Amino acid sequence: MSPSTAGRRTIRVELGPRSYDITVGTGVLAGAAAALPGRARVAVVSQEAIAARYADVLLAAFDAAGTDARVFLIDDGEEAKSLATVESLCRRFAAWGLLRGDAVVALGGGVVGDTAGFTAAAYHRGVACLQAPTTLLAQVDAAIGGKTGVNLPEGKNLVGAFHQPVGVLCDVATLASLPEREFRAGLGEVAKYAFMGDAELGATLADEGSAAALLARDPTVLTDVVARSAAIKAAVVSADEHERTGLRATLNYGHTLAHALETLGRYGLLHGEAVAVGLVFATELAAALDRLPAAAPAATRAMLARFGLPTAAPDGLAAADLITLMRRDKKAAGGLTFVLPAPGGGPLERVDDPPAAALERAFAAVGVAP
């Protein structure tokens, strides 16, 4: 991670000739045209409310560079992450005349980033995509690493492709307009990175003053938190781009239950909220397997509660239904697969088919009946 002008941070995702930069700071959206030089057309995929706030900055930058840019809107919510949306975008791109040498910009949160990224991967068998995330969750996680995809009724992100962006612009100024619930939900992913071992990030979340500044959306604190989180993901992606060594699966800490909660609950929980519950579940499961000390689950709950994140699943969910969905998780190899700390609280690793008693304890810890 290297500093740049005006307090900005630059993180490099090292992938040989496909390497790219993640730029974090205030006002970085204005640099979009420089990240896509020489393009005749750029399709900016966004949602109505986001485009109303931020699309003009992009359009002005592309206009100054002599690039024809147009906004293409998609619907809000996880329901928009569908093959139908991908088809609609592709048809609109084709009608406009977007070609393989042109580009797509994903301006929005995770729904936009995943959907626009997958559409870019499929359209003309792959066009360049610049990620311009406008939510905390997308800036620290979803926009980085090239995972793109859409949902099926049977589960989240079951159809997708690896399609690395040509760059990621994390403009922390966009976080000022986030609804409070969405901002706090993004802190669920930030907490995940703290548990992955960044001591300074963990100290920021644990310190009352720093936590208060983060909740107040102080741009300096936000830049540091986003950059530190992004650096962790960038390092993992650089080492295991396509999840072939198992290292990249560690980014799914807390996500096995989280994705099942989202699907079964019809996305009543925001992703970061589901991750927060998943972190409590994973910590309790690890403690039940003597991988973490007995006090770890309480410490996890305390950190998440400080940021107003849920630590229990919604009422009315059954463990059997969640297990059915967890068996479909992309990490799974025919059974149940979790990412947990190594014994003694060591680095995260894959754990297959833990004992039933440990699972029951973890489910009980998040308020799910057997």
271 in active site? yes
Which one of 228, 259, 291, 301 is the catalytic residue?
259
In terms of Cα–Cα distance, which of 218, 226, 211 is closest to 303? 211
- DSSP, collapsed to helix, strand or coil, labels residue 12 as strand
Is-catalytic flag, 259?
A: yes
Q: Which of 125, 154, 208, 266 is catalytic?
A: 125
Out of 271, 291, 301, 331, which one is annotated catalytic?
271
Q: Is 233 a catalytic residue?
A: yes
Phi then psi dihedrals of residue 340, to 5 deg = -140, 160
Q: Between β-strands 167-171 and 20-25, what pairing exists: parallel, antiparallel or unpaired?
A: parallel
Let me know if 192 is a catalytic residue: no
Q: Given 248, 301, 330, 331, which residue is catalytic?
A: 248
- Catalytic choice (8, 39, 233, 291): 233
Active-site hit among 92, 217, 243, 328: 243
Closest listed residue to residue 304, CA positions, set 197, 140, 192, 179: 192
Burial 312-328 (b: 16+ CB within 10 A, else e): ebbeebebeebeebbee
- The answer to whether 156 is a known catalytic residue is no
Catalytic residue among 252, 262, 291, 301: 252
Task: Compute the half-sphere exposure of residue 125: CA atoms within 13 Å on the CB side of its CA.
Answer: 0
Annotation says 252 is catalytic: yes
Closest CA to 115 of 103, 131, 99, 102: 131
Per annotation, catalytic residue among 9, 147, 163, 301:
147
Measured CA to CA, the distance from residue 46 to residue 271 in angstroms comes to 19
Active site residue 255: yes
Catalytic residue at 331? no
From the candidates 163, 255, 291, 301, give the one annotated as an active-site residue.
Answer: 255
State the catalytic residue, choosing from 182, 189, 241, 262.
189
Q: Show which residues are catalytic.
A: 125, 147, 189, 233, 243, 248, 252, 255, 259, 271
